[in-house]
Amino acid sequence: MRGQLSFALCTFGCQMNKSRSEHLRYLFLQDGFSQAEREEEADVLVFNTCAVREHAVQRALGVIANLYRSALKKRGVPPILVLCGCMSELLREELLKKLPYINVLVGTQDFEVLPRLVWEAYTDNKRCVLFSPPSPPPFLEQGYKREGGTSTYLPITFGCDNFCSYCVVPYTTGPQRSKPKELILEELEAIVKEGFREVTLLGQNVNSYGKDFGCPQAFEDLLMSIEQSFRGTPLWVRFITSHPRDMRKEVVEIVQESTLLCPYFHLPLQAGSDRILSLMNRGYTKSQYLDLASFIRERIPKAAIGTDIIVGFPTESDRDFEETLEVVQKVEFEIAYTYVYSLRPRTKAAELEDNVPERTKKERLEVLSKILKEGYLKRLRCHEGRRTEVLVFQENGKLVGKTKENLRVLFEDSKVKEGQFLQVELEVIPGGRLLGHRVSG
């Protein structure tokens, strides 16, 4: 019966949302819904939303309204509109006012009952709104059958306890709940059986994995168990995000010794000045950050370090910003995501005046990008002529390679296949890109 209803799923935001949508898709299929070929033709339009920046919220509202309109036009009758995720959690009533045609609204906690709510909304012709409080045991703790492919995600924690002053995530996702180790290992087993080649363990702060069940070093224990259980398996294991305050040197040492764990550390800096870091409630200083980065560089010289940086946090002066640039120059990040500060309701920083002019924020972003690029180009030199293994995967419809350090590699060879591990010799080509020449063995 439910097979008569088709659904389309649109996902905004972070990897955690992508992973949850993968799971949600499975739940809808299990419940008898079918996947629509085109979004505009779907009976049920599901939006898994993000609220981390105002821009993400505005963009989502625009996409939802547009898609709803085109579906209505195409089908002649309105689709069932479903919103879930962080934006729903944060805005709740406001959303019902802005989009009065919403049929089902849940936050971040009620994904597993969504197919049932959609069915109720459809059969009883009513609106369903549900916001359950965050509950242990962790949300969606059981494994599920993935869609298949080369790479997938595996959440190891849900929620966040860190309350960085600018960030809305602890308010939208609740306190940290860690997934029991046995479940993670079982899920990994299934991931290997399903033929995946790469898995990324997800958590807002992976180093605090297990703190909620009283084990402060549980992340090291988890990594070692993964190494023991899966050594020799053709699988790469990554993890994000490492909070610089909680990242222990033992984790670097475990990665250094491992054959499965990839030497890529995503260590969001956010800002370089101690004054701003303290206002952000990040819990580390510039020198502690630099110390950690140089430990990684020293122990695993080819390892890549990625980061997130916010410019224009309230009261950020030119001098504060220069300290961010100083860290960027010293560390030479391989990967960086940069953001302009966005005031978020309910956060501590919202009490501060958002006083850095828009023009200054934009200028800082431009200077920062330039310095980041210079550092990246310098780091690339250590890969010139290097022989290494790459994994072939699809990105924006093209086949590209990825090194264990998470660097993109282009191919001239058209015979490469998705999911292959290949030995290549790397060449740095103009524009700061890596080209992989296939070598045997």
Site for ligand SF4, rule CB under 6 A: 160, 162-164, 167, 169-170, 204-205, 243
What residue type is 342 in one-letter code?
S
Query: By C-alpha distance, which of 271, 194, 191, 301 is closest to 238?
Result: 191
Count of residues that bind ligand SAH according to CB under 6 A: 17
Please state, in angstroms and rounded to a whole number, the distance separating the CA atoms of residues 389 and 439: 10
Of the pair 211, 243, the CB lying nearest ligand SF4 is at 243
- In the bound complex, what is the minimum distance in angstroms from residue 68's beta carbon to ligand SAH? 27
Token pair listed for 123: 């059969």
Sign of the alpha-carbon torsion through 25, 30, 33, 38: positive
- In the bound complex, what is the minimum distance in angstroms from residue 400's beta carbon to ligand SAH? 24
Please state, in angstroms and rounded to a whole number, the distance separating the CA atoms of residues 122 and 106: 16
Among 5, 67, 102, 167, which residue sits at the site for ligand SAH (rule: CB under 6 A)? Answer: 167
Residues forming beta bridges with residue 401, ordered by sequence position = 392, 409
Query: By C-alpha distance, which of 93, 113, 140, 90 is closest to 31?
Result: 113
Tell which positions 253-292 bind ligand SAH, by CB under 6 A.
268, 270
331 binds, among ligand SAH, ligand SF4, none (CB under 5 to 8 A by kind): none
- In the bound complex, what is the minimum distance in angstroms from residue 281's beta carbon to ligand SF4? 8
Among 47, 119, 166, 321, which residue sits at the site for ligand SAH (rule: CB under 6 A)? Answer: 166
Task: Tell me, residue by residue from 46 to 75, as one string, x for binding to ligand SAH by CB under 6 A and - for no binding.
Answer: ------xx----------------------
Token pair listed for 72: 């209505």
Query: By C-alpha distance, which of 188, 183, 187, 179 is closest to 209?
Result: 179
Tokens 């072939």 found at: 392
Of the pair 35, 317, the CB lying nearest ligand SAH is at 317
Of the pair 45, 202, the CB lying nearest ligand SF4 is at 202
Quote the longest CA-to-CA distance of the chain. Answer: 65
- In the bound complex, what is the minimum distance in angstroms from residue 76's beta carbon to ligand SAH? 40
- In the bound complex, what is the minimum distance in angstroms from residue 204's beta carbon to ligand SAH? 4
Sign of the alpha-carbon torsion through 300, 301, 304, 309: positive
In the β-sheet with 335-340, what is the strand arrangement from edge to edge?
264-266, 304-311, 335-340
53 binds, among ligand SAH, ligand SF4, none (CB under 5 to 8 A by kind): ligand SAH
Among 217, 342, 420, 423, which residue sits at the site for ligand SAH (rule: CB under 6 A)? Answer: 342
- In the bound complex, what is the minimum distance in angstroms from residue 224's beta carbon to ligand SF4? 24
Consecutive H or E run containing 68 = helix 54-75
324 binds, among ligand SAH, ligand SF4, none (CB under 5 to 8 A by kind): none
Contact 120, 126 (CB under 8 A): yes
- In the bound complex, what is the minimum distance in angstroms from residue 284's beta carbon to ligand SF4? 12
- How far is residue 285 from each of residues 101, 216, 243, 304, 312, measured CA to CA in Å? 48, 21, 13, 21, 18
Direct distance between the N- and C-terminal alpha carbons of the chain, in angstroms, rounded to an integer: 53
Task: Tell me, residue by residue from 203 to 242, as one string, x for binding to ligand SAH by CB under 6 A and - for no binding.
Answer: -xx-----------------------------------x-
Of the pair 190, 350, the CB lying nearest ligand SAH is at 350
Interaction of residue 158 with ligand SAH, rule CB under 6 A: no
Identify the three-state secondary structure at position 98: helix
Which spans of this chain sit near ligand SAH (rule: CB under 6 A)?
A: 52-53, 166-167, 169, 204-205, 241, 243, 268, 270, 308, 310, 339, 341-342, 344
